[in-house]
Amino acid sequence: MTKTALLFAGQGAQYVGMGRDLAERYAPARDLFQQANETLGYDLARVCAQGPEFELTKTEHAQPGIFVVSWIALQLLQRRVPSLTFEAAAGLSLGEFTALAAAGTFTFEDGLRLVRQRGQFMHEACDATHGSMAAVIGLAEEPTRAVCAEAGVELANLNCPGQLVISGETERVAQACELAKARGAKRALRLPVAGAYHSRLMTSARAKLDVALATVILAPPRVPVISNVTAQPHGTPETIRTRLVEQVTSSVRWEETIRYLLDQGHRQFLELGPGTALSGFLKRIAPQARVLNVGDPASLEATVAALAAEPARILSEVLEGCHRG
């Protein structure tokens, strides 16, 4: 049987209008947006649906917005495919919280409050520092690490072969971009983000998140959830708290995460939530893997149809093998 892993996007996947067509078409999506509004005490659904963009891209709105749309995608898919099972989950940065909620570590409401607080804490850290991030395209990890050391910045995301993200003080990031291009990078470009995520400039957010996590009851995940910090499955609730705090200032080891899941036999991946960036990374890491996504009604219907066809495809392959034998 094909082993399936769920993948959940991080900040940067947001766009004005995300989740709107799902809410318009499906009553459970509307109900979850209403539940989110009541939990947070403001109209997150309106911000997701209407923006404006500068408001949605604020960390304290983008993070809960992506969390809710990703959760809606999962719930709608499970309603349409009741037999759906998954054997692992992972999420990029913010998405790790969604993955843990999907695995039952905390409730939807607790996860939503946590990511809202996390976004606020990171926003405050951005305001107190002068940081930025940049994507380095076409340069391997080791020379990129050398560039980071020389410029005094940090390697924030190891997304896939040829796509890394650096983070740090704005002037130092600009210097690192020039160094990377001089060392052979195809491109090195600033990202439209508010600050230096996954770097030491987020240190003030760590202590605040630690306090927030201490107020939430965590359960062991029902399936393995892969930590961004270690690229290995999370352990006890106590270590989950520790890793989620560490994640704020640590590198996101996404390529290693996917390779771990592949090594464990996962060959089908479902990206849930806005955007398809994780599907793109996966195709660069493992072109042979099957990846489906749910972010709007069209992709939901396509994924439902693909999953419905899967048993017939497997049976056909088995029968073909028997005939050859």
Q: Are 234 and 221 in contact (CB under 8 A)?
A: yes
Exactly one of 70, 93, 132, 199 is catalytic; name it: 93
Which residue pairs from 56-60 have beta carbons closer than 8 angstroms and sit at least 24 positions apart in sequence?
56/14, 56/15, 56/16, 57/14, 57/192, 57/194, 58/119, 58/123, 58/194, 59/11, 59/119, 59/120, 59/122, 59/123, 59/126, 59/194, 60/116, 60/119, 60/120, 60/123
Amino acid in position 15: Y
Q: 182: which 2 tokens?
A: 């001089």
Is 198 catalytic? The answer is yes
Q: Are 224 and 234 in contact (CB under 8 A)?
A: yes
Q: 283: which 2 tokens?
A: 């195709």
Terminal CA-CA length for the chain: 20
DSSP 313: H
**Three-class SS of residue 231?**
coil
Exactly one of 61, 123, 198, 234 is catalytic; name it: 198
Is 70 catalytic? The answer is no
What length does the chain have?
A: 325
Q: Which residues are catalytic?
A: 93, 198
